[in-house]
Structure 1
Amino acid sequence: MTRNPPSARTSIFRIRWLLVVVLIVVVAALTAAFTYETRTSSSGSSGSSLADGVVPDGVTVFDDETPAVTNLDADLLGALRRAATDAAGNGIEFYVNSGWRSPQYQDRLLSKAISKYGSRAEAARWVATATTSPHVSGDAVDLGRSEATAWLSARGAAYGLCQIYRNEAWHYELRPEAIDHGCPRMYADPTQDPRMQK
């Protein structure tokens, strides 16, 4: 008994099926690597803890247990919670990626950024020093999820919440005067902010 060789059509089908499987495996591996990198970069360096301001996944502005939220300036936190309550009517939650940070945690983040970007000057576009960071004083919050930042971009001034840096769509600070006059013009990045020149 002899077997007929597979037809060209069957061979093409098998090749396509194999390519689909390989593509799925590659996408899954890339997704896993990206998720790992995102989690490790958002959870900080070794030695950092919740007490330093590390924020675990799933923390919202209503969390009363996480120091990164509870140590925020009371007026900033109040404005965030009012805005988040209103945004919830649109099905949007305000997740916190970063809020208050200890000076030690801020120093570790800066060291990590210098390693990542290759110089202190380039790192300064993304991470401030412990003496200049509004996170250390509890005056800044980094929000997760683009729908929340888009909502605040359109409506934040009504709560006094303003995006400060053009390169950081997630970074918001309280500017009470914005309620009447709108948010001030954004700096291109933190290196343009006079507060960072100390």
Structure 2
Amino acid sequence: MNSSTSHPRRRIRRRRLLVAAIALAAVLILAFAVQQSLVAASASVSSQENATGETAGPPPQDVTGSVVAPSDADGVIRDGNEPTVFDTAGVAIANLDPALLDALQRAANDAAADGLEFRVNSGWRSAALQERMMQDAIVQYGSEAEAARWVATPQTSAHVSGDAVDMGPLPTLDWLAQFGADYGLCQTYANEPWHYELRPDAVTEGCPEMYSDPTEDPRMQP
């Protein structure tokens, strides 16, 4: 092949790969920001209500707990204070399913050899916190149907049962995407690259196919 034509083609391919990589990173950052905004919104409203003594509206009638002002006892993790998977003093980590927590800790120990530290953006949540996040999502996205693509109800949420974690930062997500299945840790939803659940069979069979979003998950159906 004529070298005068092969080099420009290689440069074009490299540019295309670079553009694709940048686009993928942008999607991950955007999706991560969506998840963070919902948790931050609940925590922010909680702080404002504690300061003013006022609420934005009546709490749901069928959920017990501190719906109006979710607190650390509800599993709130505040931005900038994300715990590791070993920080079991807080309920967000301590109330996770023991098998899930064990898998996370084993993975975190191995990832540390690569210079990574697992951080949990959201772990166990009370039904009250989950309800608040759902209500915030409805306001943010404009409808229950659209909110359901991002936030489950208290009755169906894997966070409320302690069976899911939202992980970070981005290098951790990349590591889990490559090696998580070795520990039974699988990304559940294609639109939530931070959301991981335990699938023990993944150790030998690989992770199951992801749902596009929670609305496709049979467990999320009422």
SS of aligned partner of 1:143: strand
* Cα distance in structure 2, aligned partners of 1:52 and 1:100: 8
State whether residues 157 and 178 of structure 1, in contact with CA within 8 Å, keep that contact through their aligned partners in structure 2.
yes
Which amino acid in 2 is paired with 1:172?
Y
Distance 1:178 1:122 in 2: 30
Matched, 1:109 2:109: no
Equivalent residue, structure 2, for 1:194: 218
Aligned to 2:77: 55
Mapped to 1, the partners of 2:44 and 2:120 lie a distance apart of 14
The runs of 5 or more residues in structure 1 that have no matched partner are 1-33
Structure 2 CA distance, aligned partners of 1:114 and 1:69? 27
Q: Tell me which of 150, 158, 162 is aligned to 2:174.
A: 150
Q: CA RMSD for the aligned pairs? A: 1.6
Superposition TM-score, scaled by structure 2 size: 0.71
Q: Structure 2 vs 1, CA of residues 108 and 42 (structure 1 numbering), >3 Å: closer, same or farther?
A: closer
Residue 185 (structure 2) pairs with residue 170 (structure 1): no
**Amino acid in structure 2 at the alignment position of 1:49:** S
CA shift at 1:58, angstroms?
Answer: 3.2
Amino acid at match of 1:163: Q
Identity, % of aligned positions: 58
Structure 1 stretches of 4+ with a deviation exceeding 2 A read 37-45
Name the aligned partner's letter for residue 53 of structure 1: G
Counterpart AA for 1:128: A
Report Cα offsets for 1:86-134 as digits up to 9, x if no partner: 0000011110000000001100000000000000000000000000000
Indicate conservation of the 8 Å contact 2:42/2:136, yes or no: no
Say if 1:52 and 1:105, in contact at 8 Å, map to a contact too: yes
Partner of 2:142: 118
Once the two structures are superposed, the pairs formed by residues 14-163 of structure 1 within 5 Å of their partners are 38=37, 40-41=40-41, 43=43, 45-46=45-46, 47-56=69-78, 57-163=81-187
The 1:70–1:173 alpha-carbon spacing in structure 2 relative to 1, beyond 3 Å, is: same
What is the CA deviation profile of residues 120-149 of structure 1, one whole-angstrom value per residue up to 9, with x for unaligned ones? 000000000000000000000001211001
Which structure has the bigger radius of gyration? 1
Aligned residues: 163
> 2:209 — aligned with what?
185
Partner Cα separation in structure 1 for residue 131 and residue 91 of structure 2: 18
> 1:40 offset after TM fit, Å?
2.9
User: Secondary structure of 2:111's match?
Assistant: helix
- In structure 2, list runs of 5 or more residues that go unmatched: 1-32, 47-68
Q: TM-score, normalised by structure 1?
A: 0.79
Q: Structure 1 78/44 Cα, relative in aligned 2: closer, same or farther at 3 Å? A: farther
Check 1:96–1:172 CA distance in 2 against 1; reply closer, same or farther (3 A cut). same
| C-alpha distance in 1 between matches for 2:82 and 2:190 | 25
Shift, 1:45, TM fit: 4.1
